[in-house]
Chain A
Amino acid sequence: MNMLLKAGVAGLALVMASGFAADAKTPKDTLVMAWVFDDIISLDPAEIYEFSSSEYMANTYDRLVVQNLDKPGELKMQAADSYSVSDDGKVFTFKIRPGIKFASGNEMTAEDAEFSLERYVLLDKSPAFIMNQFGLKKETVKDMVRVKDASTLEVELDAAYAPSFFLNCLSYTSAIIDKKEAMSHEKDGDLGYDWLRTNFAGSGPFVLKAWKPNESLVLEANEGYWGGAPKIKRVLAKNVTESATQQLLLQKGDVDMARNLTGDQLKAIAGDKSVHVAAAPKATLWYMGLNTKNEYLAKPEVRQAMKYLVDYDGLANTSFKAIGIKHQTFLPEGQLGADNETPFTLDVAKAKELLAKAGVPNGFNITMDTTNKTETRLLSASIQNTLSKAGINLIIKLADNKTTLTKYRASQHDIYIGQWGSDYQDPHSNAEGYLMAPLAKRNQWQLPENEAAVLAARDEKDSTKRAAMYMTLQKQALETSPYVIMFQQVETAAVQNSVKGFVLGPTFDLNLYSSVTKE
């Protein structure tokens, strides 16, 4: 039996020597990326609402208008050639760009656009509320979205809004679907929903080749794209949830790009000459939501004290260095009217003073719902530490993202820590979120005066005045709100130097692959 053993060992050694670590080179015409996209639940544009699916939509579908990356705050025509607004501000007319072909070969017409806009409302999935804001409801949408002729689409709103507000919203919810293709797969009047949630009927620079949920996403270049064919032939994204694995794969050359490295890992690869890091501030904020239902958090002084008990600078210089920017107001940098002042620093003495004023000089016990995500974990640990210095005993409740969110949505938390991303690139998204609903509702802080002010700002047609109104709202929120806003997220991608042209935009629906080249 010694022989047997020896043979086994020898065999293993032989196998090892022959080398399994094949020369890991990614194919030349393919962009290979390690990414976490387990948030994708559907590929139907009328249901797409998550970060990763938004990015998919941006690269495979054309939208009527999109944000202009060269001129932040402005729009760019995409599937629409031009648009006009009626004198009363209620009717928008879009001219469809001629010569756009869907992957099926069908020509894009106003009818496709009508179908696609109506679908958002009729299917009533997550993004439907964006359209509902303009009076585009289930009962009315068929009348309000109209085809005038083969290349002209009319959209009527229930009132006059700031045009930029409507167009900003539309820049997310106007992905144009191939009506003939979708309807050929219709079942029980579902407008092709069941088919489209795993399939593709678009006209964008890339077409969907394969999608395995939580596993892989393969896109192929649309050679006949009206804006010019992409330079890279294929995009292969693999879902790699371990950030250490992403780092390894990148450093071994197994992938061209690692999308989800932690701040510490980015620091670690900084010395690697063959890799560079692309970064873009996102319209996403790390914050704590303080539930005013809680007897302590109901006191404004306690809420202010909390704002002085976060080690903003310590975190910004260490674990959040590469992945966040210190930010304390509710509008992220880059949006109209964003106020970038940061009045709060870690100031235990000041916090104690405020706590004493609130009648709780010796602190209290309080729970915080948090997830096991690296960044949340780091924030929570640090906050637990700094709060304890003022006598506040923070009890961390760890759960997965969905459980925590569900509790938060039902307003069953004391403190929630997490991210909030703007739904569309307009200040109203966050103003509404933080001051009216849903965040204000979850934290039990719905004030009529806030609602009035937010709606007034939304409807202001003069951009300068509008910006000023948002500035005021942010200043007030710094003083009274139940939000401890800490960081604006910086999205990063660690990229091999051989790969150029990857665009990280301010939102996930502006992360684009079409100009990527690979040496």
Chain B
Amino acid sequence: MISASLRSWLLSDTPDSRFQARAGRFYLGWLTFAKNPLAMLGLIILVLLVVMAVFASWISPHDPLFGNLEDRLLPPSGKFWLGTDENGRDIFSRIVFGARTTLYIIGLVAVTAAPIGLLIGTTAGYVGGWVETGLMRLTDAFLAFPKLILALAFAAALGAGLENAVLAIALTAWPPYARIARAETLTVRGSDYLAAARMTGAGGWRILFGHIMPMCIPSLIVRVSLDMAGIILIAAGLGFLGLGVAPPQPEWGSMVSEGRSQILEQWWVCTYPGIAICIVSLGFNLIGDGLRDVLDPRGK
């Protein structure tokens, strides 16, 4: 899979450049990760999810949005692999397209929450003083809420809809990122590296954006990826409570919710979307677990 020369370059004990060293460390981490079968399973699930989302139109055999009333609530069969729902829509196709919704939500939450946390955390850490106290108290206040309940309150106030759900989740997801970013900033605040940058005449914002923030990004990415499963579950919970995406877009949580009233006779309507949520969030958790093993030497 990987050529011998590249391998020896990566595993070299005496790297010639910083890039080689970093790449080497990354490769070592990957080797540890790949040795963990559960983590690899998680990765496979993630890849399948992405494939499903990208090729949804090719994979799904039926229209995910509109069905026929004559086909309502049919059990799984050769034509409808996982049965149909109360509107005569193919559940399998809706699950496939629901992968898009899921990826869209976690993607949007990641690109909204992480920058918010990064900005607040680095500003607090770099500026210090009462700005730091104020920002970190705010962060603590947000952290004091159970995430789901805060997201619920936000979503209830903002109204249903995909964007609002994302916003509600992002507003609850940023505080840990702010804490990490602040901690990272504190470790580099007094470093020679920043002093050097200041000597070259870089201003406060330049240093913040150009030098401190990039330093925080790797640990932030790790933390965000660890949070993915939780975000999926909260999104599904919002969907279940009717605060998710607008119909007819398929979303797994609201699919479970819609199938609730038929659970006794047509169990498949709410069973399969639930399994989809389980598998995907398990996938992310497995990846996260593998990552933790890579990063935390004590677990070895």
Q: Which residues of A contact B (CB under 8 A)?
A: 242-244, 247-248, 251, 262, 264-265, 268, 311, 314-315, 317-319, 372, 374, 377-378, 380-382, 384-385, 388, 395-400, 403
Contact = CB atoms under 8 A, between A and B. Distances in A.
A388 B66 contact: yes
B261 interface: yes
A262 B264 contact: no
A51 B261 CA distance: 22
B247 A378 contact: no
Contact of A398 (B65, B66, B160): B160
Interface of B: 65-67, 69-70, 72-73, 86-87, 159-161, 242, 246-248, 258, 260-266
Contacts of B69: 311, 314-315, 317-319, 382
Contact of B159 (A244, A377, A399): A399
Contacts of A396: 246-248
Given A378-B87, A398-B160, A403-B159, A268 B247 contact: no
A264 B264 CA distance: 11
A381 B262 CA distance: 17
Contacts of A403: 159
In the A-B complex, the 4 residue pairs with the smallest Cβ-Cβ separation, listed nearest first, are: A372-B242, A385-B66, A314-B69, A381-B87
19 contacts: A244-B260, A244-B263, A264-B86, A264-B261, A265-B261, A265-B262, A265-B264, A318-B70, A319-B86, A374-B261, A377-B247, A382-B87, A384-B247, A385-B248, A396-B246, A397-B161, A397-B246, A400-B242, A403-B159
A374 B160 CA distance: 16
A13 B248 CA distance: 44
A383 to B, nearest CB: 11
Contact of B246 (A268, A315, A385, A395): A395
A374 B264 CA distance: 16
A381 B247 contact: yes
A385 B73 CA distance: 17
B15 to A, nearest CB: 48
Contacts of A374: 261
Given A385-B65, A385-B66, A397-B161, 15 more contacts: A244-B262, A244-B263, A264-B73, A264-B262, A314-B70, A319-B69, A374-B261, A380-B247, A381-B86, A382-B87, A384-B247, A396-B246, A398-B160, A400-B242, A403-B159
Contacts of A398: 160-161, 242, 246-247
A413 B269 CA distance: 32
Nearest to A313: B69
Q: Taking each of A382, A385, A399, which has the highest tally of chain B beta carbons within 10 Å of its own beta carbon?
A: A385
A373 to B, nearest CB: 10
A282 B235 CA distance: 38
A388 B161 CA distance: 21
Contacts of B263: 244
A438 B160 CA distance: 26
B163 to A, nearest CB: 12
A385 B159 CA distance: 24
A385 B258 CA distance: 17
Given A318-B72, A397-B246, A248 B262 contact: no
B261 A377 contact: no
Nearest to B241: A372
A67 B160 CA distance: 42
Nearest to B73: A264
Contacts of A384: 66, 247-248
B180 to A, nearest CB: 35
A314 B87 CA distance: 11
A414 to B, nearest CB: 14
B171 to A, nearest CB: 19
B150 to A, nearest CB: 19
B248 A381 contact: yes
Contacts of B161: 397-398
A318 B84 CA distance: 14
Contact of B261 (A244, A315, A380): A244
A156 B115 CA distance: 71
A381 B249 CA distance: 11
A399 B258 CA distance: 15
Nearest to A388: B66
Contacts of A247: 264
Contacts of A242: 260-261
A317 B160 CA distance: 31
B274 to A, nearest CB: 15
A247 B260 CA distance: 12
A377 B262 CA distance: 14
B45 to A, nearest CB: 30
B72 to A, nearest CB: 6
Contacts of B258: 377
A262 B246 contact: no
B231 to A, nearest CB: 21
A243 B248 contact: no
Most chain B beta carbons < 10 A, residue from A262, A315, A395, A398: A398
A76 B60 CA distance: 61
